[in-house]
Every structure is written in structure tokens, then in C-alpha cells.
Amino acid sequence: MTQLVLALNGWRNRISGLDRVWVFLGALYLALALFLPAQAAPTGEFAIRSFVGILPFLFVAIGAAAYTKASGTDNLIARAFTGRVGPMVLAGALMGALSPLCSCGVIPLIAALLAMGVPLAPVMAFWLASPLMDPTKFFLTSGAISPEFAVAQTVAAIGVGMLGGYGVLFLSRFASFASPLRPDARIGCCGGGVIRNPGAVRWAFWREPERRAAFAKESWSSFAFLAKWLLLAFTLESLMLTYVPGEKIVAVAGDGNPFAIVIGALVGIPAYLNGYAAIPLVGGLIENGMQPGAGMAFLIAGGVTSLPAALAIFAIARVPVFLSYLFFAIAGSLLAGFTYSLVA
């Protein structure tokens, strides 16, 4: 009995050490082979062909992320939060949309900024813009959807950040916004260090061996991370295009439905899986008849209000601040969707 328990514990430890995305992807293809054998090969071919097609954009995105890590340009973030509050809001929105911070680093960075006394308005601008765009997403969006859509989403990210930042600047006159952090909020690791101890920027990073090593490590880490999510996204896109009729998408989220953009924003909140996986899915939906403005609303609303991001923010921010975050995120997604539908 003891040996059985030890064996089960060993298998459990091995399984828990596996990447859940790869496990899910393998289980999905196994289910296709067992229950829909005629669909397994076409889905795999579609996913691999789409992945190979986006590789040029993927390599550029990985290079941008690795360069930022190796050169230390993320240390420039600290400079955005100095000076007068009004210009700081604009700087926070710009830095949020352009910085390549990892998702684990944004929340501790925000907590560190607020704990250091930085006004809530520019922090909110950075907070809202950061999950919506970064160099990696820009290049992937350019390849999976279009360069025009990527530029529009970047502008939307900055606009949503400014909307929330200047909106909170108005709300800061109320007492409920005087202390934005929860008393038990934990100010943690990687993101906070960029603000507390900003290091030097080395634009020519290749001259230093440790920075060259950091570039190589970040390149591989980024490739492994993006590869699994993109393969999953292309697999789901293949199944969606096969089993979801185009006329259904047009009826729900096409130009003929006046509520398509609202539906895109509302569906994006619970349905958003991952910022990188969502890009090919939205690209496939647009190709199948989805209104581009609805796709924009989906990406903006989902990126800011997805369950993992919302729970992380709820853990550190007081309720009025959290509710204002949700309000400006949803309002900004609707504005972005309607604006893009008019100009696209």
C-alpha cells in the first residue's frame, strides 16, 4: 500500500511539473484522434501552417522582447512617473502601451508605485494601457490580423489609459480614492524593482557577456512561451472555422447587428484566455465575418478585465479603485470599438 501511495505521489509530482498548456494541447489532439479522427490531421496541419506563416513576425517580436531585457530599457519606466500629474498621465499611458513588462511584473510594479506615493491617476493610466499592447503583441497582431489593426490597437491602448488616468484625476477629489491600496496588499517582486532600483540602460548590450546571456535566455523563454499559446490559438481557430458557421458569426458580431461591438466587449470579459492566444482567434473571427470594431472591443475589454488580471488587481486595490478600473476598461473598449468601426 505504501509503495502504491509513493508511486501515485510520484506521478502526481511529474504531472504537476508539466506545462498545463502543452498538456491541454496534447489532450485536445488525443480527443480529436479518438472522437473526430477525420478532423485531427487537418487541424494539426492548419495550426502548423499558420504558426510557420507567422514566424517572421514572431522572430521580430522575440528579438524586441529580448533586446529590452538585455539592454535594461525597462528601467526607463521609472522616468515616466516624475513631474506634474497631468503630463504624468500621458506618460503613464504611453509607457504602459509600449513597455514589454511580463504579466507577473505589472501588479507588483503598480503596488510599488502607489506605495511610494505616486498619484493614482498616472498609475491608473499605466495600469489600463499595459495589458493591451506591447512590442511583442504589436508584431504578432500585424502578422495575424493586419498592421493597420495593430496601430489602431496601440492608439486604443494609449487612449484607454488616458481615459482612465484623467478620469481618476477627477475622482481623486473624493475621499474614497485618497488611499488606493488595501492595507494588506503585498508589494512584491520583479516589477517593483524597476521602480525602486532602476538600473543603467545599455543600448549596445552585446558588449557585455552577461547581457548577451540574458538576451539568449530571454529569446528562448519568449519563443517557448509564445509557441505554446499560438499553437493552441491556431488549433482553436481551426476548430472554430470548421464548426462555427460563418453566418452565425455575421449574425451575432457582423455589420448587420447594431449591438455587435457591445457583444464583443461583453464576451471578451469572460472568454479571454491569453493576450497572445486571443490575437489569432480574433483574426480568424474577422476573416469569418466578425465586425473589426467588435474584434477591437473584444481585445480591449478582455485584455484589461480578464479574470486573472481582475483578481490580481482586486487583491491589492480598494473597492472604489477596482470598480473605477473596471468602468474605464469597459467604457474604453466600447469607445475603441465604435471609433475603429468608423475609421476602418
- pLDDT tier, 209 (very low <50, low <70, confident <90, very high otherwise): very high
Residue with more model confidence, 81 or 210: 210
DSSP assignments along 165-206, one per residue: HHHHHHHTTSGGGS--B-TT----SHHHHHHHS-----SSGG
* HSE-up (13 A, CA, CB side) for residue 46: 19
Q: Is 7 exposed, middle or buried (0-12, 13-18, 19+ CB in 10 A)?
A: exposed
Residue found by looking up cell 484623467 in the block: 166
- pLDDT tier, 70 (very low <50, low <70, confident <90, very high otherwise): confident
Q: Across residues 279-292, what is the average pLDDT?
A: 89
Taking the C-alpha atoms of residue 145 and residue 133, their distance in angstroms, rounded to an integer, is 14
By mean pLDDT, which of 80-84, 198-202, 253-257 is the weakest? 198-202
Taking the C-alpha atoms of residue 14 and residue 140, their distance in angstroms, rounded to an integer, is 33
* HSE-up (13 A, CA, CB side) for residue 108: 16
Taking the C-alpha atoms of residue 36 and residue 30, their distance in angstroms, rounded to an integer, is 10
Q: Centre a 10 Å sphere on the Cβ of residue 322 and count the other Cβ atoms it contains.
A: 17
Residue pair 80/122 in contact by the 8 Å Cβ criterion: yes
pLDDT (0 to 100) of residue 44: 96
pLDDT (0 to 100) of residue 198: 58
